[in-house]
Amino acid sequence: MELVKQWYAKRIDSWEYHLATRSTDRVVRPFDWGAEWMARWPLVSNAGDTESKLRELNQLAIARSPEFFAYEPPRDFRREGNLIRFASPIETPYEENNTVEARYFPANPRWKRGNKAVVVLPHWNSHAGQHVALCEGIARFGISALRISLPYHDRRMPPELTRADYAVSANVGRTIDATRQSVIDVRSCFDWLQQQGYEDLGIVGTSLGSCYGFLTSAHDERIRVNVFNHCSTHFADVVWQGLSTKHIREGIEDQIEIDRLRAVWDCLSPVHYVDRFASMKKRSSFLYATYDTTFPPELSKDIVARIARSGADHKVVVMPCGHYTLGESPFKFVTGYHIISFLKRNL
């Protein structure tokens, strides 16, 4: 049996590495504190150097997170077929990124029970056609879905990019700003859903979308059912250890070590919002993979253990695959079953 396990682990690792290295357009970008982005946040640091300012702003953002993730709800929602567009409450220097786009999947009337809807947050570097099958499956079983294009993704991507590098990169300040914008854009999607009469609301996030989803749910009481597909404690540790972000580490490791990186990206880490999350009445599913080389399993187990200690109502699903292989057959079908059945039972 042990030999079989070793053989299986090697096969999954080999498959995972193949899938992770298919892309040939990853760019190693130079480290940048991104100091210019700090002026855009509703917090002020009086520290001296840039790193000290970022450290202080992270601690302020955690302590005053409702203020950090506060926003003015959009007033320009417009529907074009099944596309919902509105101006992001966070304006960035990139014009394309300032318009939020979400694709709407109305619930199948045959199975619809009440006014239930979820916002679906895709993974990092997802293209517009991904997670559509999941949304269609959710809608088929009576729950409407709204798939948001994350900042710097799809038509929100600046023309100089081929990947969503500005969402997560070696630029510390811009990565924080992209995360803050993501949380606020997703909260705005719930504003639109409420305007359509939806009352029972949930969220489904995958990989980076899972991180964004947790931060969103921890700051929005309207969201009562959550699915976090891949989960972790510290944002910086995933970037530092993950196979998917190896090129980012290559750009920063000569300039900063992990402890310092963790301190300047602290406000992006779900671990700091567990108590806040647990204080609200929510039901959540946390899914992680045994052979994940992007979200290391020890980080996933850590966040699950913290959630358990917090007393939050939750379940855990462990898949026998890796990060990329979770999106391949047969694992994607099993994952889809877990997600949709959980939503059906709890929303």
CA-based max dimension of the chain: 61
d(CA 318, CA 77): 38
d(CA 324, CA 316): 19
Tell me if 338 sits within 8 A of 287, measured CB to CB.
yes
Structure token pair of residue 232: 């972790």
Q: Say what the pLDDT of residue 111 is.
A: 84
One-character DSSP codes across 154-183: GGGS-TT-SS-TTTSSSBHHHHHHHHHHHH
Bridge partners (DSSP) of residue 202 are: 118, 225
Q: What is the side-by-side strand order in the sheet with 83-87?
A: 78-80, 83-87, 99-105, 144-148, 116-121, 200-206, 223-229, 283-289, 313-319
Cβ atoms < 10 Å from Cβ of 47: 12
Tell me if 156 sits within 8 A of 40, measured CB to CB.
no
Tell me if 78 sits within 8 A of 86, measured CB to CB.
yes
d(CA 43, CA 67): 8
User: Which residue bears the tokens 């990092």?
Assistant: 124
Cβ atoms < 10 Å from Cβ of 13: 15
pTM of the entire predicted model: 0.97
Structure token pair of residue 77: 């929602």
In order of 85, 90, 99, 138, 181, the CA distances from 156 in angstroms are 11, 13, 7, 25, 12
Locate all alpha helices (DSSP H) within the chain, ordered by sequence.
Answer: 2-20, 50-63, 65-68, 132-140, 172-195, 208-217, 235-241, 246-252, 258-264, 274-278, 297-310, 331-346
Q: Say what the pLDDT of residue 113 is.
A: 80
Parallel/antiparallel/unpaired status of strands 116-121 and 78-80: unpaired
In one-letter notation, the amino acid at residue 150 is L
Bridge partners (DSSP) of residue 78 are: 85
Those residues of the chain that have pLDDT short of 70 are: none
List the domains of the chain with CATH numbers.
Answer: 32-346 (3.40.50.1820)
User: Coil, strand or helix: which one is 269?
Assistant: coil
d(CA 95, CA 9): 45
Q: What is the pLDDT of residues 104-139, one digit of tens each?
A: 999 999 888 889 999 999 999 999 999 999 999 999
Q: Say what the pLDDT of residue 198 is.
A: 97
Length of the chain, in residues: 347
Q: What is the pLDDT of residues 235-272, one digit of tens each?
A: 999 999 999 999 999 999 999 999 999 999 999 999 99
